[in-house]
Amino acid sequence: MTAARDSAETDGPSGNATVWTGLLIFAGILAIYLVSNFDRVNFYNHFVWQASAWLEGQAGIRFPVTATATAPGNDYFQDVLPILDAAGNATGRALIPFPPLPALVLLPFVAVFGLATNAQLIATFIGAIDVALAFWMLGRLPVDRTVRAASTIFLGLGTVLWYAAELGSTWFLAHVVAVGLTLAAIALALGADPRAASGDDEDSGPQTFASRLGSLALDRRQFVAGLLFGLACTARLTVIFGAPFFVLVGGGGSWPRRAIAAGLGTAIPVAAFLIYTQVTTGHLMTPVYDYLYIQETGFYPQLNYHAGWAIEDPRYLIQNLPLMIGGLPDILPRCTDPNAVRGLFDATCPIIAPREVGMSLFLTSPAWLLGFLSLRWWGIDRLVTGAVLAVAAIATVNLMHFSQGWVQFGYRFSNDFAPFALILVALAIQAIRRRWIAYALIGVSMAVNLWGVIWGHLFGW
């Protein structure tokens, strides 16, 4: 493979064409995301309430709040831990379990619009920005413009990022925030490493004392890449397991130099998050998930949670893996109206419909299968090896989690490793001779995700 090259340069006609292509993709994706969901209601808007609590000088949100004719409520929230006083009485406040960055993103909007802030609409714009960032990141790879554009469109319309961005409720807002920051971090790392697609480090062979001393200097670009990556982790915690990518890819010099620069950048937001959690909850890791685990084990027997297992438990990996790789839709489900005639988009009597517990990653986005073709470069190419390690580590930790999402289309946790997996897909498309197969898989992925977006609204998800 040839060295990575930033095809987003603007000093020339071809560079200007690339910029215009990126802007058109952004505008097109934004338009599609906007028309995908006209009725944006702030039903699950935990981060709006969290930002409002900060503006009130509190860590806990006001809860429970009953809606009025002029103000929203939140007394239907389940993902909260009520704060009690020393006597065990409710204080009218509660903690949410989610990492705080999405609330920080909403903070300036909440300062202006208050609880009327439309977090769902903001998530839609962030989702379109994510796709634009993917186009930028892919320009750092050794792929041509057609592959770059096709891979970008695949992420935006052929994966569950579409569903997450157009819906934009609490959990999905966290995903779209993390995806964009991760893509930006990868792009910076690739831009700092002009030999990202090679298998060699610069420090192979003998070095003089001066060269060794120079190699210890902090790589600023890799540091910023780590900083962005760390911020992504404060939106979705499991993203941090993608750290091996930044050890192998980015910044010239040895892997310790890359790791130190990216690690220092990552440590700043992660440390701030841990300090925030300790100050606001009295624990280094939030206790809210423990509380929710106990509650949801009883509330949702259909999800097959086990009270005797840990929140992160290897046994859940074995239980959840079939859902990620082979979860099927409901085919000819029972009709709620016995007189109805089955229809493709008839919610009372469908022919086939998505399952609320989720569906197979490869059924909803079959173009992800292309990424396996890049495994031929495992152990040879640092870029591929780093991306594979990141995908495998994040997916494994997510699968060990007791919850795999609920009332969702597809497998939403795949958003956590999608930026790294997209590298593998793009490199595979570039390498194969019969590209029409890859483009056909992208087309099928887009059709399936359109189907999922439609059904999500039919079901009121």
pLDDT at res. 5: 45
Place of tokens 């609409």: 121
Q: What pLDDT score was predicted for residue 10?
A: 41
The reported pLDDT for the residue numbered 302 is 78
> What's the pLDDT at 301?
80
pLDDT at 102: 98
Which neighbouring-strand residues pair with 312?
Answer: 401
Going by their DSSP bridges, the two strands 90-95 and 330-331 should be labelled as unpaired
Secondary structure E strands in 317-433: 330-331, 352-353
Which pLDDT score, from 0 to 100, does residue 253 have?
A: 76
d(CA 184, CA 126): 13
pTM: 0.93
For residue 256, is the peptide bond before it cis, meaning its omega torsion is within 30 degrees of 0? no
Q: What tens-digit pLDDT sequence spans the chain (461 residues)?
A: 544 444 444 445 567 778 888 899 999 999 999 999 988 777 899 999 999 999 999 999 999 999 999 999 999 998 999 999 999 999 999 999 999 999 999 999 999 999 999 999 999 999 999 999 999 999 999 999 999 999 999 999 999 999 999 999 999 999 999 999 999 999 999 986 544 444 455 544 455 544 544 555 789 999 999 999 999 999 999 999 999 999 999 876 789 999 999 999 999 999 999 999 999 999 999 999 999 998 888 787 878 899 899 999 999 999 999 999 999 999 999 999 888 899 999 999 999 999 999 999 999 999 999 999 999 999 999 999 999 999 999 999 999 999 998 899 999 999 999 999 999 999 999 999 999 999 999 999 999 999 999 999 999 98
* pLDDT (0 to 100) of residue 39: 81
Q: Which letter does DSSP use for residue 410 in this model?
A: S
What are the extents of the domains in the chain?
Answer: 13-40+118-205+212-287+352-458
Spell out the residues 6+ positions from residue 98 whose beta carbon is closer than 8 angstroms to its own.
46, 47, 50, 79, 170, 171, 174
Contacts of 371 by beta carbon, 8 Å cutoff, 6+ apart: 391, 421, 424, 425, 428
**What does the alpha-carbon distance between residue 339 and residue 323 come to, in Å, rounded to a whole number?**
32
pLDDT at 391: 98
